[in-house]
Amino acid sequence: MISNIKSSDSVRGVCLVIGAGDATGGAIARRFAREGYASCVTRRNAEKLQPLKDAIEADGGICHAFGSDARKEEEVIALVEQIESTIGPIEVLVFNIGANAPSSVLDETARKYFKIWEMACFSGFLNGREVAKRMVPRATPSRKQSIIFTGATASLRGGASFAAFSGAKMALRALAQSMARELGPQGIHVAHSIIDGAIDTAFIRDTFPERYALKEQDGILNPDHIADAYWMLHLQPRDTWTHELDLRPYMEKF
């Protein structure tokens, strides 16, 4: 269900972040809010977005939080319609849902495999399609409109016990490539980022303390620095667009 919102009188545009968690998605929302965009952030439980909303507003930015299931077509359509009609045009879409849930292929269930694909790929299609429908008619040579999909190491290779996740992330990469080839000539910048390495999150801190200890050596990715890269992608002139961007710590093997 979409949360109640109030119309913003003056915004540079809207940055819609699908899957605005406590790390990367939140950092991206904060980065674009600092640049004058209204950050619209979503996850299934809107209450979990309150700290992010409070932080953005405390810094003088604009943030609207939504509880919405990105896998449900009717909810995606309603979300985009409400943002466009009450806040402003969506100039940036960042699809940032992870769905990283490892399991041996011997134990993987059909239900879980399908759910991971829904979260990490199908919902990317739904949100990308609905936002692109709005972007294409208003595209001009000088207007910057971007759709950015967050990928992972699994976008490039399937690791042991990651059959579902790698299948979904590789499919998301193919979706991004197809959309870029179709929408790029129409003035929409479609990019795919490969986040190849551990990110500074509570999950990494609590689950992989040895890896988290590399933070002091810049050995894991800082979400704020990922957000800077996304901002750079959005600013690129159309004669030098990046489609695929690899982001990894200097010590990460690849």
Question: pLDDT tier at 58 (50, 70, 90 boundaries)?
Answer: very high
Please state the φ and ψ torsions of residue 243, each to the nearest 5 degrees.
Answer: -95, -50
Distances (CA, A) of 213 to 65, 152, 209, 252: 33, 21, 6, 14
The superfamily in CATH containing domain 14-247 is NAD(P)-binding Rossmann-like Domain (3.40.50.720)
* Mean per-residue pLDDT over the chain, rounded: 94
Distances (CA, A) of 244 to 8, 128, 169: 33, 16, 14
pLDDT given for residue 219 in this prediction = 97
167-195 pLDDT, tens digit each:
999 999 999 999 999 999 999 999 999 99
Write out the DSSP string of 125-165.
HHHHHHHHHHHGGG--TT---EEEEEEEGGGT---TTBHHH
195-235 pLDDT, tens digit each:
999 999 998 999 899 999 999 999 999 999 999 999 999 99
pLDDT given for residue 12 in this prediction = 82
- Please give the share of the chain, as a percent, with pLDDT higher than 90: 90
pLDDT given for residue 1 in this prediction = 41
Q: What is the C-alpha to C-alpha distance for residues 229 and 120, in angstroms, rounded to an integer?
A: 21
pTM to 2 decimal places:
0.94
97-126 pLDDT, tens digit each:
988 888 999 999 999 999 999 999 999 999
Domain boundaries, the chain: 14-247
Asked whether 108 and 164 are in contact (CB, 8 A), the reply is yes
Q: Tell how strand 14-18 and strand 189-195 pair up.
A: unpaired
Asked whether 100 and 152 are in contact (CB, 8 A), the reply is yes
Q: What is the C-alpha to C-alpha distance for residues 12 and 79, in angstroms, rounded to an integer?
A: 19
Q: What is the C-alpha to C-alpha distance for residues 240 and 59, in angstroms, rounded to an integer?
A: 32
